[in-house]
């Protein structure tokens, strides 16, 4: 049985365009692999606390010296990392808010990127420690940014994913969703999803 990790970050929930496109991708996956198991991590309905000194201290404190609060923080980070490790593929529904990813999604990555666990520093630079696997990003945005050189969303996602070892990244983009050609952009993204063949 294959396992998908579905990471949602739209504040519009099921009504968000990134969520709708991700649902379409999951349905196509299920059509090709009926026994697939989908693990959903909804970062809006179940938000993760933003990174702060308390979290940094907890994640750098030896287990034997951790306070009960620190143990809870580390346990959540361990769980989030385990979900990534156990998945055969990852689907990330990622809208653009104010030129960047939602803060909820950034908070998730802050818990995933852990020195000595998912990456390490070597004399040749940082090395990702996660086993590579397909990652599908459903990137949506209200304006037109890609060709204008203003896309800070997808490059950052590729950077942080590659930093922890996930380099097999596929991007399906829908732009101009608050503009007149929104229907065309969504249709093109849907066609891209419908053409995917999963191995």
Q: Is the pLDDT of residue 187 over 90?
A: yes
Beta-strand relationship, 37-42 and 125-128: unpaired
Q: Which pLDDT value is given to residue 143?
A: 86
Residues 77-125: pLDDT tens digits? Answer: 999 999 999 999 999 999 999 999 999 999 999 999 999 999 999 999 9
The answer to whether 21 touches 106, Cβ cutoff 8 Å, is no
Q: What pTM, to 2 d.p., does this model score?
A: 0.94
The CATH architecture annotation of domain 3-194 reads: 3-Layer(aba) Sandwich (3.40)
CB-count exposure of residue 123 (10 Å: 0-12, 13-18, 19+): exposed
- Angle at Cα 135 formed by Cα 134 and Cα 138, nearest 5°? 140
Give the integer Cα–Cα distance in Å for 88 and 199. 11
Give the integer Cα–Cα distance in Å for 197 and 123. 39
Residue 13: closest CA among 24, 26, 22, 1: 22
Residues 126-169: pLDDT tens digits? Answer: 999 999 999 999 999 988 888 888 899 999 999 999 999 999 99
The pair of structure tokens assigned to 196 is 């995917």
Q: Which pLDDT value is given to residue 1?
A: 61
The pair of structure tokens assigned to 188 is 């093109």
- Which is it for the CA torsion 92, 95, 100, 103, positive or negative? negative
Residue 141: closest CA among 176, 193, 165, 179: 176
The pair of structure tokens assigned to 99 is 């030129």
Q: How many CA atoms lie within 13 A of 51 on its CB side?
A: 15
């Amino acid at each position: 049985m294959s396992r998908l990790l579905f990471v949602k970050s739209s504040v519009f929930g099921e009504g968000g365009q990134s969520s709708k496109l991700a649902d379409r991708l999951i349905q196509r996956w299920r059509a090709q692999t009926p026994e697939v198991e989908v693990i959903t991590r909804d970062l809006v309905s179940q938000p993760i606390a933003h990174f702060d000194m308390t979290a940094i201290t907890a994640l750098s404190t030896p287990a034997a010296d951790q306070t009960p609060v620190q143990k809870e923080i580390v346990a959540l980070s361990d769980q989030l990392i385990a979900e990534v490790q156990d998945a055969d593929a990852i689907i990330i529904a990622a809208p653009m808010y104010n030129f960047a990813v939602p803060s909820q999604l950034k908070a998730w990555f802050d818990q995933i990127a852990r020195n000595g666990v998912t990456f390490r520093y070597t004399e040749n630079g940082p090395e990702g420690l996660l086993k590579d696997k397909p990652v599908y990003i459903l990137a949506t945005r209200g304006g037109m940014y890609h060709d204008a050189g203003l896309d800070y969303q997808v490059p950052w996602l590729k950077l942080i994913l590659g930093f922890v070892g996930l380099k097999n990244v596929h991007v399906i983009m829908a732009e101009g969703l608050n503009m007149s050609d929104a229907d065309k952009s969504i249709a093109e993204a849907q066609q891209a999803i419908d053409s995917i063949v999963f191995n």
